[in-house]
Amino acid sequence: MLVIFGCILSFLEKVINRCIIKYRTTKFIVCGQNVYIGKNCIFSYSNVSIGNHVYFGPGCVIQSAHGHIYIGNHVMFGPGVNVHGGNHIYNRLGFYMDEVNKKLGDDTDIVIEDDVWLGVNSIILSGVVIKKGAIVGAGSVVTKSVEPYSIVAGNPAQLIKQRFTDEEILQHEKLMAKREGKIH
């Protein structure tokens, strides 16, 4: 009897979690299809745009009070990834830092392009563009933009190597375009 009860509870938990994810995806500026949000994720919904086929591992924090965060297609966020837009204004004479009010647009945007993998507990900071096909190693702190198909790691994140050679990038992009029906 306990086994049956456990199975029913497990099924109900899955249904409830799917409903919660579906509800949460309606709160973003834009949210594509096939977006999975792991448990305990935190978002500043009103300025986040998400593409298709995006996975957020548990415990991700994606927030920016005064800038936008754009997330492309086929992006994977490992558990505990933090994306933080903005910073405090610290150079106003005659004001404490917590007294300086900011508004939407005062901070630079964060852009995470298509086919990006952000490793567990990595941190992405304001103004960064992570370009197509890049990988950010676990625990990295990204303070500067990342070039296409680069693998970066460390604090601050630095180039480790390229995913592909220049020739392989051309071949990869041609194959992907063909796969997506963009060329025949």
- Parallel, antiparallel or unpaired: strands 82-84 and 123-125: parallel
- Parallel, antiparallel or unpaired: strands 158-162 and 150-153: antiparallel
DSSP state of 126: T
Of 84, 88, 172, 184, catalytic: 88
Q: Which residue has the tokens 């297609």?
A: 73
Does residue 25 contact residue 45 with C-beta atoms inside 8 Å? no
- Cα separation, 166 vs 107, whole angstroms: 34
Does residue 133 contact residue 118 with C-beta atoms inside 8 Å? no
Does 74 participate in catalysis according to the annotation? Answer: no
Catalytic residues: 88
